């Protein structure tokens, strides 16, 4: 197992470059640790080395993921998210506690938060819908990334029209949050939910627009027709 990580890390370092590292840092307000390479290349390297562990147990793969997440290096975190998602057919409800711990302990930027939550956590919620109650608890966290996670974990299922009432419940909790990362997270969630439930999301926005920060509001209505956008943005 240690050899797998060494080979992966050697491959990542071999492909890293200073130009991509500097360019990547511009996307973040917080300090991030980057090796420096395009996301598509990180994905390809991760998939290549996944072949070496495809017969390992889920527990062993999760252990490797945690090792990668613990470094705080974004490219290693992306590989961890990919590997944790690769065993989604083996997910069990108890895995939520594992993912929640990763969010609270290792996630420190929006890219890692979204990569982990859009697929790994979101898929777990789709497989076991009762876990939505655990997800909603994250909205009450003091941790900005846990709050964002409560919203962005529903991006894929919400786009399919699922969990609409839960989307609104999470939005209710986060609606006045002053953190722009949280605002953008729940605004994004509302936006994708509007693709299947435009009227319901529009009605929600109109009802709450005086409480919603403009950042969240703009995200939520981004996919709506011009007349709806104008109505939503109109100041009372």
Per DSSP, the residues of 63-90 read HHHHHHHHT-BHHHHHHHHHHHHHTGGG
For the residues 101-121, what does the mean pLDDT come to?
97
Q: What pLDDT does residue 195 have? A: 96
Instruction: State both tokens at 92.
Output: 């069990």
| pLDDT tier for residue 2 given thresholds of 50, 70 and 90 | confident
pLDDT band (50, 70, 90) for residue 58? very high
> What percent of the chain clears pLDDT 70, i.e. is strictly above it?
100
Q: 118 pLDDT exceeds 90?
A: yes
C-alpha 70/C-alpha 92 separation (Å) is: 23
Q: Which of 118, 79, 81 is nearest to 98 (CA)?
A: 81
* Residue 236 clears pLDDT 80, i.e. is over it: no
3-state secondary structure string across 185-236: HHHHHHHHHHCCCHHHHHHHHHHHCCCCCHHHHHHHHCCCCHHHHHHHHCCC
Higher pLDDT, 170 or 3: 170
- Under the banding of pLDDT at 50, 70 and 90, the label for residue 7 is very high
Q: Which of 51-60, 123-132, 143-152 has the lowest mean pLDDT?
A: 51-60
φ/ψ region of 127 (left if φ > 0, alpha if ψ in -120 to 50, else beta) reads alpha
pLDDT band at 139 (very low <50, low <70, confident <90, very high): very high
pLDDT band at 29 (very low <50, low <70, confident <90, very high): confident
Q: Is the pLDDT of residue 223 over 90?
A: yes
How much of the chain is helix, strand and coil, in % rounded to 5?
75, 0, 25
Mean per-residue pLDDT of the chain: 96
pLDDT recorded at residue 77: 97
Average pLDDT for 156-183: 97
> Token pair for residue 87?
């065993």
Q: Of 166, 86, 77, 74, which is closest to residue 120 (Cα–Cα)?
A: 86
**3-state DSSP call for residue 27?**
coil
What are the pLDDT digits (tens) for 178-194? 999 999 999 999 999 99
Residues 168, 135 contacting (CB under 8 angstroms) = no
């Amino acid at each position: 197992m240690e050899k797998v990580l060494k080979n992966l890390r050697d491959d990542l370092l071999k492909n890293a470059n200073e130009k991509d590292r500097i360019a990547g840092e511009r996307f973040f307000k917080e300090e991030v640790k980057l090796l420096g390479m395009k996301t598509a290349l990180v994905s390809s390297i991760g998939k290549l080395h996944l072949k070496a562990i495809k017969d390992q147990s889920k527990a062993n793969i999760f252990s490797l993921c945690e090792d990668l997440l613990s470094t705080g290096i974004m490219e290693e975190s992306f590989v961890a998210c990919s590997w944790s998602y690769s065993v989604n057919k083996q997910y069990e409800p108890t895995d939520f506690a594992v993912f929640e711990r990763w969010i609270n302990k290792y996630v420190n930027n929006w890219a890692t938060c979204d990569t982990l939550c859009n697929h790994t956590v979101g898929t777990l919620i789709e497989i076991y819908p009762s876990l939505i109650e655990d997800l909603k608890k994250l909205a009450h966290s003091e941790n900005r990334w846990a709050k964002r996670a409560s919203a962005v974990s529903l991006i894929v299922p919400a786009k399919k029209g699922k969990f609409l009432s839960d989307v609104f419940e999470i939005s209710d909790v986060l609606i006045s949050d002053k953190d722009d990362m949280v605002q953008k997270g729940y605004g994004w969630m509302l936006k994708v939910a509007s693709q299947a439930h435009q009227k319901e999301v529009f009605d929600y926005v109109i009802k709450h627009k005086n409480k919603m920060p403009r950042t969240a509001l703009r995200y939520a209505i981004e996919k709506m027709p011009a007349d709806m956008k104008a109505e939503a943005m109109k100041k009372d």
